[in-house]
Amino acid sequence: MANYSIQVNGKTHEVDVMDDMPLLWVLRDLIGLTGTKFGCGKALCGACTVHLNGNAIRSCSYPVSAVKDGKITTIEGLSEKGDHPLQKAWEKHIVPQCGYCQTGQIMNAASLLNRNPTPTEAEIEQAMEGNLCRCGTYNRIRAAILEVASK
Ligand code: FES
Ligand code: FES
């Protein structure tokens, strides 16, 4: 066991865990941030996507020991009142169906816009293709991202 001090959504949390504990477990089970979801547990679906220093990572497969002094952002910390432009566009386009994958979709889209604020449709497709949605909301996801990118 090791003691880690990790920064999540602007707050520092001390956790005493194994080096290889996935960040997702720390976020959900120890810190109580359950907005980030568990899907495959193998870095294959994107449901667990969070940001490390603004870049998307798959927290189910990211050991807490690798976070070091990086800044983690979860869906709870993406905006103060759920009013990030992507969150507003998601509402406008009524993107979610069951909703399970949508945290990961939004966090991955936010990471894309951090590095490329005006992606083309093809760039959106490429960036989002690893985030799976069993409800098939892909067209609405793309429309919502395109709307934010066009502003
Ligand atoms: S739960 Fe992490 S990628 Fe599927
Ligand atoms: S909205 Fe149901 S899995 Fe994506």
Residue 24 CA: nearest ligand 1 atom is 2
Same domain, 90 and 127: yes
Confidence at residue 68, expressed as pLDDT on a 0 to 100 scale: 95
Average pLDDT taken over every residue of the chain: 97
Alpha-carbon dihedral sign for residues 52, 58, 59, 61: negative
CATH at 64: 3.10.20.30
**Ligand of minimum distance to the alpha carbon of 46:** 1
Q: Which domain holds residue 110?
A: 85-149
Same domain, 69 and 91: no
> Residues lining ligand 2, CB < 6 A?
96-102, 133-135, 137
The DSSP annotation for 13-52 comes to: EEEEE-TT-BHHHIIIIIS--TTS--S-SSSSS-TTEEEE
pLDDT tens per residue across span 65-83:
999 999 999 999 999 999 9
pTM over 0.75? The answer is yes
CATH at 96: 1.10.150.120
Out of 43, 77, 111, a domain closes at 77
pLDDT tens per residue across span 99-139:
999 999 999 999 999 999 999 999 999 999 999 999 999 99
